[in-house]
Amino acid sequence: MKIYDDTTKTLKPFTPPMQPPQSIIGISTGTKHLGIAIEKNGELIEWKTCRFRGTWSPQKLHTIIRYIEKHLTEYSIHAIALKIPKANTQSSGLMELKEAIVQLAKDSNTPVYTYTIRDLRSRYSVKGVSYRLALMYALCDAKPELKREFNREVKYKSGYYFKIFEAAACIELCYRMWDL
């Protein structure tokens, strides 16, 4: 696993602390949609997708960061599991958003664990089944409360609800660091 180093603007190897955090927020980033899942003491307590309309601007960045900050304080978050796109597909807006989330975490002394699509695919791939479907099935088995979002995503095929599953998958990957 890697962690973002803000001095060199790169990802570097990371060794986790001895104990897992009691509350984690999973965030699937995007400049228009943001998937959020919050787990406290092993129980998924909040999950949603948020839409941020309009073109990218400093005001939009500020709105997204305030939204995340509200959840950090409301749920006493101890760690952030962040899903980021591949480096070659990141727009300048996504780069700004990632850096702002990392800065927010640094200001609140909260560790950030970053995951890419490659990390998620390595954990949730099943031969003969699409990655998205495999990920959603696996998470619905582990977290039955996500069945409603699964049914909506299968029905509409918009990717809107899939952001929730990516956020929850990041939390699962984060907790796997402490599984022996």
What mean pLDDT is predicted for residues 105-120?
Answer: 93
Alpha-carbon distances of 155 from 84, 113, 132, 149, rounded to whole Å: 26, 32, 14, 10
Which pLDDT does position 3 carry in this prediction?
57
Q: For residue range 5-54, what is the model confidence (pLDDT) as tens digits? A: 556 666 666 666 678 899 999 999 998 999 999 999 999 999 999 999 99
Structure tokens at 34: 């943001």
Which pLDDT does position 88 carry in this prediction?
76
Q: Is 60 exceeded by the pLDDT of residue 1?
A: no
In the chain, where does DSSP find H-type helix? 58-74, 92-107, 117-123, 131-142, 147-156, 162-176
Which pLDDT does position 177 carry in this prediction?
83
Q: Is 80 exceeded by the pLDDT of residue 151?
A: yes
Q: How confident is the model at residue 180 (pLDDT cuts 50, 70, 90)?
A: very low
Which pLDDT does position 87 carry in this prediction?
76
Alpha-carbon distances of 97 from 8, 19, 42, rounded to whole Å: 17, 28, 27
> CA-CA distance, 146 to 139, in Å (whole number)?
8
Q: How many CB atoms lie within 10 A of CB 42?
A: 8
CB 43 within 8 A of CB 63: no
Q: Is 50 exceeded by the pLDDT of residue 138?
A: yes
Domains and CATH numbers, the chain: 2-7+18-176 (3.30.420.10)
> CA-CA distance, 133 to 36, in Å (whole number)?
19
Q: For residue range 58-98, what is the model confidence (pLDDT) as tens digits? A: 999 999 999 999 999 999 999 999 999 887 777 899 999 99
SS3 assignment, position 157:
coil
Q: Closest Cα partner for 65 from 47, 50, 87, 86? A: 50
